Every structure is written in structure tokens, then in C-alpha cells.
Amino acid sequence: MKAAVGIGTLNHEKILKEFDIFCMENNIKDLIITNSLILDWEKTRVNDSRKTLYGKYCILSQFCRYMCHIGYACYVPRLPRRTFANFIPYIFTHEQIQLFFSICDSMVMNYRGKDCILFSLPALFRLLYSTGLRISEAISLKNSDIDFTRQYIVIRKTKNQQQRLVPLNASMLETMQQYKVARDKMPLEGTANPDNFFFISPSGRPLLDKSVYGWFRVILRKCGIPHLGNKKGHRVHDFRHTCAVHSLMKQVRLGIDIYCALPVLSVFLGHRKIRGTEKYIRLTQEMYPEIIKLEQSLTSFVFPSQPVIEIDYEK
């Protein structure tokens, strides 16, 4: 039923299989899902984060509702309390974006590896910043999804299961065309076929998000931008946040009312509600430097500077 309306079922299959294995290991043969069964299953998920467990509960809750609908009186579990991530995205400045692209363009392969994706990165990273695409959306693009004549991209695989059109500006269109010409010169069969992936490695395989993230960290290091690691460092997804902030900044400076600009930006990013877009908009020093300076002048007395006292530990 979900597949019929265009919803991806891979994650559902994995979670239901996991629950299936639990029932088999505990010799559960009844066709009724009870509250105690759900609680016993939850106790086995000791390595799942709260976010992961919340997603699994969502799918199990939907499945139990379906079981009730077809005549089996199953317990419909309540969703656990959802905890929102407190991760603060990194908003690149325009200077950092230019430096990032410059470093990316200047990098060369140190070995002749067919699976090295460095060839595709300059166009890919520019597309992420220019259009605000998610990395999963960008690496899933097929040749048929890009209309060079009408200057737009059709995004079919989206987070919200809603296809959308993403326009390409003149410079991004030229970059995509240059990449396509260079890609089609590689001795690979069928690179230009409509059903083949647009971004590929020299072996012809599609890109993996883990490989893109690995090169992303390498370029950050060459740019002198520190990466903290352990889920605290910069992410490829921060290009999407930066795109939102820079786009809104440009519209405001052009005199467009921010209340008119936000709905346009929301549709551009593929959000269902403006509330989702508001999470991407952050006050940066580059965006409103005069406000930041005013705030610093008003709060500078809160933590006054203190003289540094040197201590001689030998004494």
C-alpha cells in the first residue's frame, strides 16, 4: 500500500524484519501484538538512539493500526517522547565558499583509482550550494532528471515524497554542462543513457554519501576550517543551510519583504511548511553585522576581560 503511493519501503522492510526475528527467537506465534510484546522488544534495542527508536516506533504503530484494520485487535503503541537534535549547523561565509571551491578545483588524484570520486566533486558541491539539494537527492539524480534546455532539475527521490522542480542559474547550468561533456569522454558504455546516474566515478558507479563526506573533510582541512568530529563537526548538509541563509540574505538586500521571501524559499527547498524553513534561517555576523556589533556593545560587561595571572608551579 505504501509502495503504491510512492513511499520508499526499504526502511519499513528492515524494521519489520527486525521485529519478525525477535518474534521468531521468542517463539511468538499469536497474530496479536500486545503491549508487553512491544515492551520486551524495546528492551532488546539497547544500541538504538532515541531518534532511531522513535522512527521504529512510528513504523510499528502504523503496522499495528493496519492489523486492527484487517481484523486483528493489536495494541497500538504510543510514540515515545521525541527529542529534537540540538546540533547547530555551520553557516559558511561567502569567502569560505569561494575558498572551498578553489581548493576542490585544484585537487588532483594521487593514484589511478577507478572508484575515486574526485572527478565529480567540483560540480556536485556547487550544485549542493546553488540549489540547496540534500546529498541523497543530488547523488540520486539520473540523466533524464536534468533539462538543460529549460534549465531545471526534476527531484524525484525526496524526503517528503513530493517531486519538485529546482531551477538552475546560468553559472550552475554552465558547470553542469562542462561536467557532462568531460564525463561523456570517459571510456564507459552508456554514461549518457537517460536511466543512468548523472554523477558517477570513473568506474561508472554512482557516488556514495560516505565517500562524498570523506572528501568534504579533506577539503575542509585544506581550507583551514577545523572539524571537531564525533557528530560535532561540519556536515555536507550544512551546504543546504548555507544556501538558505545566503538566498534569504540576497533577497532582503534586494529589498524583498522577508515575509514574502520565506514562502518562496520554502518551496525552493522542498519543505511542506514554512516552519521547516525557519529552522534553516539563522542570524549570522555576515548577514547582519550591525546587529551583532550592537549586541556585543550591550553585553560586553557581562563577562569583563580579566588580566592573565601567571603561576609558578615550581614554587
Domain segments of the chain as ranges:
3-69, 88-291
pTM > 0.95: no
pLDDT score recorded for residue 229:
66
- CA-wise closest residue to 279 among 266, 292, 295: 266
pLDDT score recorded for residue 231:
64
CB 149 within 8 A of CB 127: no
pLDDT score recorded for residue 210:
92
pLDDT score recorded for residue 145:
94
| pLDDT tens, position by position, 108-156 | 877 667 778 999 999 999 999 999 999 999 999 999 999 999 999 998 8
- CA-wise closest residue to 122 among 195, 204, 178: 178
pLDDT score recorded for residue 120:
94
pLDDT > 70 in the chain, percent: 83
Please state, in angstroms and rounded to a whole number, the distance separating the CA atoms of residues 139 and 157: 10
- The topology (CATH level 3) of 88-291 is hpI Integrase; Chain A (1.10.443)
pLDDT score recorded for residue 305:
60
Please state, in angstroms and rounded to a whole number, the distance separating the CA atoms of residues 286 and 293: 11
Average pLDDT over the chain, rounded to an integer: 84
- CA-wise closest residue to 151 among 178, 115, 176: 176
Half-sphere exposure of 4 (CA within 13 A, CB side): 1
Please state, in angstroms and rounded to a whole number, the distance separating the CA atoms of residues 143 and 140: 10
pLDDT score recorded for residue 291:
47
CB 96 within 8 A of CB 250: no
**Cβ contacts of residue 63 below 8 Å, gap of 6+?**
16
Mean pLDDT (10-residue bins), the chain, 315 residues: 79 93 92 92 89 90 93 90 71 93 89 81 96 92 94 82 86 95 90 93 91 93 81 84 88 81 83 74 58 53 58 54
Please state, in angstroms and rounded to a whole number, the distance separating the CA atoms of residues 240 and 269: 8
pLDDT score recorded for residue 274:
75
Q: Is the dihedral of CA 264, 267, 269, 275 positive or negative?
A: positive
